[in-house]
Structure 1
Amino acid sequence: MMLTFGFVWAFCLLPLPLLVWWLAPPHKERTTALRVPFFRQVTSATQSAVSQGALVLPRSRLQMLTTILCWILLVTALARPERLGDPVTIEKSTRDLILAVDISGSMDDRDMEAPDGTRKQRLQAVKDVIAGFIADREGDRISLIVFGAKAYVQTPFTEDLDSVSELLNQTQVGMAGPNTAIGDAIGLSIRTFETSEVDQRLLILLSDGADTSSMMSPVNAAEIAAQAGVTIYTIGVGDPEGSGEERLDLDALEDIATRASGSFYYADDEQGLAEIYDRIDESNPRVTDTQTFQPRDQIGFIPLSLALVIGLVVLAFLHLTRPGRRA
């Protein structure tokens, strides 16, 4: 624990009473007096000393010490004493990340190979891998966008990773329509990034089909994203040899990533998808802004309370012990 003062200049007031005692004229007060014709005889009979001028009431040593101590305590309270706690370090991430996940009808195909060799639904395989990826994003802000025929913001930017994972688990194939609107997903991501105030902005777009229903072409959307400082990583999990909605357009996904300073990856199994996320992590290390501060507790009430208690105790003591007081 460390003690500091918020207004240390207050201690300049400590010698003020001494200066007033030295420089200020004494207080004078006129009072009525009784003239005694035989005053000299009275003083002679009582052997009292006679002096000219005002009468200065004597002060005991206890009164002087109490006055000095209370003044020091009052000035100390005015200096705003503060108790410093242990340093607290806060790490704030300077990276915002959007996961754009394709949930079109083709994501229901069961052609993703699990590590045990079984076949798994494409969307379920993606969910299982992304869950671990999200869990490792401690400190990052993540937004989740799902898209099919239309694109929707499932979660805005948040550091509540559990909520992102839970909402991702609740998504089902076809919830956003059967078609694939990659360009709209990129456009919605750009608008979502408008609320971001950090420099590192990543979009990870995962799709298993070709763009068929976007209002803006994916390539144009990628160029706009690059101008907005958004890096796009595209991941293809579909069948390049398919037809229609189920055909994965590898060239388009690669073109999107290239125009937005990112990279394109293709995965046909769950293990390969997990390795892709590891490579994305390696190429984009997390950047943090570290801030350290010490909590401050105001304790000015302590010297103020001590001054009040000491003053009252001494005042009561002098009152009880003054001469001439009857029991």
Structure 2
Amino acid sequence: MTMLTFAYPWLALIAPLPFAVWLLLPAHASNRTGLRVPFFDRLAALSGQSPQVGGVIAPRRTLPLLVLILCWLLTVAALARPQWIEPPLHQDRPTRDLLLLVDLSGSMDTKDFVDASGRTVDRLTAVKQVLDDFLSRRKGDRVGVVVFGDAPFVLVPFTTDLELSRALLRDTVVGMAGPRTAFGDAIGLGIGLFDRSTVKAKTIIALTDGNDTASKVPPVEAAGVARDRGIVIHTVAVGDPTAAGEDKLDEGALKEVASTTKGGFFRALDRSQLAEIYQRLDQIETRKIDTVSFRPKRDIYWVPLAAALSLSLLLQALRTLRRRSQHPAPRTSDLAISKGAP
């Protein structure tokens, strides 16, 4: 619903100011040259007026007075800054920051996942396919992506542009961050990204298929810092729990990281399990949107100013037409006769 309002309504108090001046101040006096004649009484009698001693107050015509009053009121209305309030607009603001930690170590190149078409693909390809579907349903969240191998790197800072996150995530390849796994450092980098976050809900979803072999900070210690800062970490184990060496999956560490921050631990042995995990995460981390409403205001002070200008110009035009009708210009024939007269 649209409505009219004034930004400075208190300026309406100056509207009676000209009336107060007219009441309190004396009338403007001016001296005019007079003509003294010995037959003044006869002239007064012929005119039917009774001469009085003192000044004469010239009466003001009704139309100019009304126009003057209207122009003053319109000027006061313009000074009060009239504003036209438009219908309310609603804007959805995200109330959660969601950070994805994606492992790009060499073991993610192992082909033990089957995609939706039945082809055997590597672990990273399966993760990217499921993440792409997961991100397509995260409207209302700010999402960031951190990839890690020998060291963690920010792939996408927190943004509501989910299409950008999906596009950059599709371009990731195994080994682009190094062959080893720095899971603890990735959590530390994620904590640093949340330092500028102003929302209450902060979530990390970590995907890794190996044990931590390159971090300066152990994952459990990093998880303790995340817990103190109100960050929840869900861990997803993508690797083979029976693997050995650097490819060995440290499920104990992943479970401890999740439990420390009151998050969940999930194991994905194939693509179907991975998809089910993201469905469960989608239920746990439901979208939260804070709807903010505001009403745009449009200044229309120019409307009363334009009306006041139009009224004054119209009054001047009427005065000009009236003068011309009372004092018409002499015709050419009259001028010719007056010039030829003796």
Deviates more, 1:165-174 or 1:47-56: 47-56
What is the CA-CA distance between 1:73 and the residue it aligns to? 1.6
1:251 equivalent in structure 2? 252
1:84 equivalent in structure 2? 85
Q: How many residues align?
A: 327
What is the CA-CA distance between 1:154 and the residue it aligns to? 0.7
What is the CA-CA distance between 1:164 and the residue it aligns to? 0.9
Deviation readout 1:158-180 (Å, 9 max, x if unpaired): 11111111111111100001111
What is the CA-CA distance between 1:292 and the residue it aligns to? 0.9
What is the CA-CA distance between 1:32 and the residue it aligns to? 4.1
C-alpha distance in 2 between matches for 1:124 and 1:46:
111
Higher radius of gyration, 1 or 2: 2
Q: TM-score under structure 2 normalisation?
A: 0.90
C-alpha distance in 1 between matches for 2:46 and 2:301:
57
2:159 equivalent in structure 1? 158
Kindly indicate whether the alpha-carbon contact (under 8 Å) linking 1:113 and 1:268 is maintained by their aligned counterparts in 2: no
What is the CA-CA distance between 1:223 and the residue it aligns to? 0.8
Q: How does 1:36-115 map to 2 (within 5 A)?
A: 36-44=37-45, 47-115=48-116
1:197 equivalent in structure 2? 198
Q: How does 1:270-309 map to 2 (within 5 A)?
A: 270-309=271-310
Gaps of 5+ in 2: 330-342
Gaps of 5+ in 1: none
What is the CA-CA distance between 1:266 and the residue it aligns to? 0.5
C-alpha distance in 2 between matches for 1:116 and 1:193:
37
Deviates more, 1:274-283 or 1:37-46: 37-46
CA RMSD of aligned residues (A): 1.8
Give 1:280's aligned amino acid: L
What is the CA-CA distance between 1:65 and the residue it aligns to? 2.1
C-alpha distance in 1 between matches for 2:46 and 2:241:
131
What is the CA-CA distance between 1:250 and the residue it aligns to? 1.0
Deviates more, 1:52-61 or 1:313-322: 52-61
2:172 equivalent in structure 1? 171
Deviates more, 1:213-222 or 1:31-40: 31-40
- The list of structure 1 runs, each at least 4 consecutive aligned residues, that deviate by more than 6 angstroms after superposition, is none
SS in 2 for 1:194: helix
SS in 1 for 2:91: strand
1:15 equivalent in structure 2? 16
C-alpha distance in 1 between matches for 2:279 and 2:49:
103
Give 1:325's aligned amino acid: H
Kindly indicate whether the alpha-carbon contact (under 8 Å) linking 2:108 and 2:209 is maintained by their aligned counterparts in 1: yes
Q: TM-score under structure 1 normalisation?
A: 0.94
1:325 equivalent in structure 2? 327
Q: How does 1:124-135 map to 2 (within 5 A)?
A: 124-135=125-136
What is the CA-CA distance between 1:251 and the residue it aligns to? 1.0
SS in 1 for 2:196: coil
2:332 equivalent in structure 1? none
Deviation readout 1:274-317 (Å, 9 max, x if unpaired): 22112122222233322111111001100110111111111121
